[in-house]
Each structure stands twice: as C-alpha cells, then as structure tokens.
Amino acid sequence: MGFTTENLQIRYGKHVALRDITIHFESGALGLLGPNGAGKSSLIRAILGFIQPAGGTISVLGQSPGNDPRLLRQKIGFHPEDDALIPGLNAVAAVTLCGELSGLPRSDALQRAHEILHFVGLGEVRYRSAETYSQGMRQRLKLAQALVHDPELLILDEPTNGLDPRGRQEILDLLIDLVRNKGMKLILSSHLLPDVEAVCDQIAVLDKGQLIKHGSLESLLKGASRAFEIRLKGPIEKFEAAIRARGGTCKPGNRGMVQVETTEGSAPLMFALAREAGCQIRHMMPVRTTLSEVFTNTVAQGRADANS
C-alpha cells in the first residue's frame, strides 16, 4: 500500500487547503496534478507527516504519519522543489548525511552515497562542492538524497525543472526504471505534463483544494473525446451538422482538413456519417489525446460545475 486518504481535510487557520480528499494509491506511479494553489503541496506535507489532518484520515505505507513520523520517514524519499543545500558540503557528504538522517549507519550511508551518485549521473563530480552545481545538477543531487536509503515510497516535486532535454529524458528513464523494474512506489508532482504521462500510470487532479479527477492514466485518456482530422469531398456542411447533432464539434484542421471531435467517435462512425451526408472521406487520421488536453478540460469542467 502506498497511501490512502478518506475525506481528508487540511486547514491553515480558517483557510481550507484540502476538502474531503479520498485517494487510494497502492503501487506504481501517481501523477499529482493541479494549478498553483490547488493543494498539491498540502497533500505532500500530509503524507510526510508535516501537518496533521483537520478531518478525515490518512494512512501511508500502512501507518498513520502522526504515530511514528521518524520511522515512517525512513521509508520515504522526498525530492523537494526548492534547494536544500548545506554550505560547504560536497555531493558525497550531502548524500551521506541524508542517508544517516534516514537511519543508515555512517559506513553504509557513505557506500550508498557513492553508488547512488553514479546512478543519477553525478559520479564524476561527486567531490565538488554542491554550491557550484548547475540547476540541473542540483536536481540530480536532490534525487540522490531522496534515494540513498532505498525508500519504499519516493515523492518528487518538480524533479525535471532546469534540466536540458537530454538530462530531462535521462531522469525520466531513471524514474521509469525505479517503478517498473525495482517496484518502487512513486508520487510525481509536476507542471510538465508530458513528464507525468511518460512516468505515471495513475493520475489525481486537484483544483481549489478538491479532488476533481482520479484514476488510471489509460482510462482518463480513453474517456476523453476522440478526434480525427478528415479531408472530405462533397457537402461538408451536412457532415458537420450530423457531427454536431451527436454533440460533437467541427473546426478547420491542418492542410485544408476538418478536425472532428466527439465522445463516441470511431472510424466506422465517421464513414457512416459521411455516407449519409453524401460526402466522400479522402483522408482520415486520428488525433492523439494528450494528458495536457485532458488536464485542461478537466479543470475547466470542474470549475464550470462548481459555478453552475
């Protein structure tokens, strides 16, 4: 079990940061999404045991974070968004210290520090002062600090910020390996939705302190509208009217084509509607739905429902 919340509420004074959040995350990788101020950081703090619920319950790795937070944190690795460097330490010393703070004997922590720094790509610069590292190198260092004690649950907050495309892909490959081949449970909070789509198999979307979508990535993408780019010959207006009658939309696409979007879209249906409208489909290509589109539509729909 990764973590479970039931009607979780988090308050800061009179401000409600999280309201009635129920999430069940057992294994794999969970993408934690939401606009700024959605409550993602509050949920992470609750998982880490930094703040106590004002209502509801939370269980992390089978225990309440408030019962024995020190023991629980030995099982959790945390990669914060902000730097947490101690002046004067090189990478080996910084990672070794995190290993000791997580309960490892010093000799074991030192050995693991060397191993994990090689793993994240900092082996050749591990004796340099961490204060001289670039932003991308600091991201790798934070990942090493989070992994040094071989945690059961890894929590990452914006882990690829500041990385060049090659470095970003290398970190994503490391995370995929940790989840798929080493069985580590992972929570990824990021505004870079292609990164979340590459790593995670589950998604939780927060907005204004409420959970507005939770499920497998596959089901969320399948549940989204189906879109096609179609080139037609014939009375296009009749075809567009048939699409709109089914609750779909038509708009100009690329290279003179029409982009058709409908929740019940399928290639046979497109051909059937075109035939009924007296049109011929000369070219048709499905448009892949991305997590970015699902996220944008989910937040917009959630806010529309809240205001209705």
Buried b (16+ CB within 10 A) or exposed e, 262-276: beebeeebbeebbee
Domain limits at 122? 3-216
Say whether both 195 and 262 belong to one domain: no
Say whether both 210 and 232 belong to one domain: no
What is the tens place of the pLDDT at every residue in 5-42? 999 999 999 999 999 999 999 999 999 999 999 999 99
Assign 308 a pLDDT band (cuts: 50, 70, 90): low
Say whether both 241 and 212 belong to one domain: no
Residue 76 is classified by DSSP as E
Q: How far is CA 79 from CA 129, 143, 155, 288, in A?
A: 19, 6, 6, 32
Which segments of the chain does DSSP mark as H helices, in order?
Answer: 40-48, 69-73, 91-101, 106-119, 135-147, 165-180, 193-199, 217-222, 236-245, 267-276, 291-307
Total of domains in the chain: 2
Say whether both 66 and 117 belong to one domain: yes
Q: Is the entire prediction scored with pTM above 0.95?
A: no
Say whether both 7 and 44 belong to one domain: yes
Q: Is the pLDDT of residue 80 over 90?
A: yes
What is the tens place of the pLDDT at every residue in 194-214? 999 999 999 999 999 999 999
Say whether both 51 and 180 belong to one domain: yes
List the CATH number of the domain containing 256. Answer: 3.30.70.100
